Chains A and B, each alone.
Chain A
């Protein structure tokens, strides 16, 4: 599913998707990565979100979590990576949305996915339903549910 240059850490593949072969129902290749403390610390620095829920286990436990949780925007960044690596970096993201539903703990494997809802040949634009799931205690959790991307292909 992924190209030969797949990145072991971020999961980002190098798929070249041809707009002309897209149809409603076309699936995006799932993009998986394991979330680490190092990733979350690097994200806090780059994104400027220094909320202690993402840095301090004691604060996170006081809020009812087993330890620090990933930023919602880290998970949305991964969702976007799934879209970008599918559409190609020359494509333009016109809209991106996500509803956050479940926390992501350190060591969780998050999987970004998506499915084409509609295509508009006149503008070379695709509307894509997106999501991010993970498996915990035998159940599927939805860190992102009802995400959407509008992508204009090059």
Chain B
């Protein structure tokens, strides 16, 4: 993981809140109506390949574990809507061979209004750790 990549922003990605995937989430977590709050992780995964494959960041995803996750919602997601997903490498620290990466992802609706902000903290474990 390269600390110099801190601050990198990635091209916007469009993500549609697909009703079939939402229904699968509801079924998995026993919710009868609406969009389960953690469905937003699917939107994060729309932009994650750009980060994982970024040669400037040089992340070894096979050594990455998810440390923490934080969502702030301005409103619930709506089935069928298309969101703009915008990712930024908010913080990168390397300590004792371990890399600590905070990814901040903003989700905007068709009017450009914020819907959700996600912060994911990932740890890239040192090889042979």
Interface residues of A (CB under 8 A from B): 7, 9-12, 39, 42-43, 45-49, 51, 71-73, 76-78, 80-81, 84-85, 89, 92-100
Contact = CB atoms under 8 A, between A and B. Distances in A.
Q: Which of B25, B27, B37 has the most chain A CB atoms closer than 10 A to its own CB?
A: B37
Say which size band chain B's interface belongs to.
20 to 34
Nearest to A99: B68
A98 B28 contact: no
A56 to B, nearest CB: 11
Nearest to A93: B37
Given A48-B46, A76-B69, A99-B67, A43 B31 contact: no
B36 A100 contact: no
Given A93-B76, A97-B71, A12 B41 contact: no
A94 B36 contact: no
Contacts of B36: 77, 80-81, 84
A91 B83 CA distance: 22
B23 to A, nearest CB: 9
Given A47-B42, A77-B36, A100-B67, A94 B72 contact: yes
A78 B29 contact: yes
A96 B46 CA distance: 20
List 4 tightest A-B contacts by C-beta distance, closest first. A12-B30, A10-B30, A46-B24, A48-B45
B31 A73 contact: no
A97 B24 contact: no
